[in-house]
């Protein structure tokens, strides 16, 4: 296992359990405690975890509340989705990324791709990308700041999105069904996502299987505007057929 893969596993374990001891990590990963300590020091340096005597926890930067809770939910599935989505991005491209737990996992994977221009309304995503050594540029959109999920929204953020042209928009969503397509539960987040779609050549949606067949209050886009959908499980038959009919490329993580 490479150091990068090992450290990604450590972060996922901490997200799932919130606090983990060095001894426990060494036992789970079957590696020495000295290696675990070195990995924790490196992960703490780049802000992905917070060390304490004998172990580590999630950093305070992700806050206490719904977004922090979502980071620990379905961690393995989100990491797998992020790893597949990363394969769609090439060095030197411009990527618009909206706020979400799965897109934060995705942003972490971008460390292996050089010379990217990343534009986001997520302070956490901007921080993760800017701390990499991949010579990428990071632009954090201005606007009204939401402290829970550390994002900017509103007319200022939407206006600034329109200053960019991008190869990709990579988005998380609240729901997806046959009638409306892609939806979100927050109107401000839906507005930012729509602006990103308008400025991108391709649209990649990252979604876990719990979102299929659900309804959310605000439309983001129809299915035929989605270029690629990356998910952890195959969608139900009717939704699968509708995605194919709309010309969406379907990527199932791990297949």
Residue extents of the structural domains in the chain = 3-58, 67-252
**Residue 67's pLDDT is what?**
52
pTM, two decimals, is 0.76
Between 65-69, 112-116, 157-161, 251-255, the lowest mean confidence (pLDDT) is in: 65-69
Assess contact for 121 and 157: CB atoms under 8 A: yes
Between 149 and 166, where is the model more confident?
166
Plot region of 132 (φ>0 → left; ψ -120 to 50 → alpha; else → beta) = beta
Task: Give just the sign of the alpha carbon dihedral 102, 98, 152, 215.
Answer: negative
Distance, first Cα to last Cα, the chain: 20
DSSP one-letter code for 61: G
Statement: residue 61 has pLDDT above 70: no
Q: What is the mean pLDDT of the chain?
A: 89
Section 140-166 average pLDDT: 94
Section 12-36 average pLDDT: 90
Q: What are phi and psi of 96, to 5 degrees?
A: -95, 130
Counting residues of the chain whose pLDDT is more than 70, the rounded percentage is: 93
pLDDT digits (tens, 9 = 90+) for 64-89: 345 555 555 567 788 889 999 999 99
Section 226-241 average pLDDT: 95
- How far apart CA 240 and CA 37 sit, in angstroms, is 45
- How far apart CA 99 and CA 48 sit, in angstroms, is 17
- Asked, colleague to colleague, whether 3-58 and 67-252 share their fold, the answer is no
Assess contact for 155 and 82: CB atoms under 8 A: no
Q: What is the CATH number of domain 67-252?
A: 3.40.50.1360
Statement: residue 63 has pLDDT above 60: no
**Residue 69's pLDDT is what?**
53
Between 210 and 98, where is the model more confident?
98
Q: Give the C-alpha distances (Å, rounded to integers) separating 201 from 5, 75, 79.
A: 31, 29, 25
For the segment(s) 3-58, the CATH number from 3.40.50.720, 1.10.10.10, 1.10.760.10, 3.30.1600.10 is 1.10.10.10
**Residue 49's pLDDT is what?**
81
**Residue 74's pLDDT is what?**
65
Q: Which of 39-43, 63-67, 194-198, 206-210 tops mean pLDDT?
A: 194-198
Strands 50-52 and 94-97: unpaired
Assess contact for 83 and 109: CB atoms under 8 A: yes
Tracing tokens 């602006």 back to the chain, one arrives at: 195
pLDDT digits (tens, 9 = 90+) for 80-135: 899 999 999 999 999 999 999 899 999 988 878 999 999 999 999 999 898 876 78
Statement: residue 48 has pLDDT above 80: no
Section 176-205 average pLDDT: 96
Between 108 and 181, where is the model more confident?
181
Tracing tokens 């659900």 back to the chain, one arrives at: 214
Q: Which parts of the chain are beta strand (E)?
A: 19-21, 50-52, 55-57, 94-97, 117-120, 137-140, 144-146, 151-153, 166-172, 175-177, 181-184, 200-207, 218-221, 228-231, 249-252
């Amino acid at each position: 296992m490479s150091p990068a893969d090992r450290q990604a596993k450590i972060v996922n374990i901490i997200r799932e359990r919130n606090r983990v001891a060095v001894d426990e990590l060494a036992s789970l990963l079957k590696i020495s405690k000295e290696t675990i300590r070195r990995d924790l020091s490196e992960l703490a340096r780049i802000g992905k975890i917070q060390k304490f005597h004998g172990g580590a926890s999630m950093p305070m930067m992700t806050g206490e509340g719904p977004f922090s809770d979502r980071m620990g939910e379905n961690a393995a599935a989100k990491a797998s989705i992020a790893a597949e989505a990363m394969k769609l991005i090439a060095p030197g491209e411009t990527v618009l990324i909206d706020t979400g737990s799965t897109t934060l996992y995705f942003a972490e994977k971008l460390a292996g791709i050089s010379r990217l221009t990343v534009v986001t309304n997520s302070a956490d995503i901007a921080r993760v990308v800017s701390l990499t050594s991949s010579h990428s540029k990071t632009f954090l959109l201005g606007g009204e700041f939401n402290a829970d999920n550390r994002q900017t929204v509103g007319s200022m953020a939407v206006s600034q999105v329109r200053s960019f042209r991008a190869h990709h928009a990579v988005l998380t969503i609240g729901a997806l069904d046959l009638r409306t397509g892609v939806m979100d539960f927050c109107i401000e987040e839906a507005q930012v996502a729509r602006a990103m779609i308008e400025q991108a050549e391709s649209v990649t949606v990252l979604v876990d299987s719990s979102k299929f067949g659900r309804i959310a209050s605000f439309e983001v886009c129809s299915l035929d505007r989605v270029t690629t959908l990356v998910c952890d499980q195959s969608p139900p038959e009717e939704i699968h057929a509708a995605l194919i009919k709309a010309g969406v490329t379907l990527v199932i993580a791990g297949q």
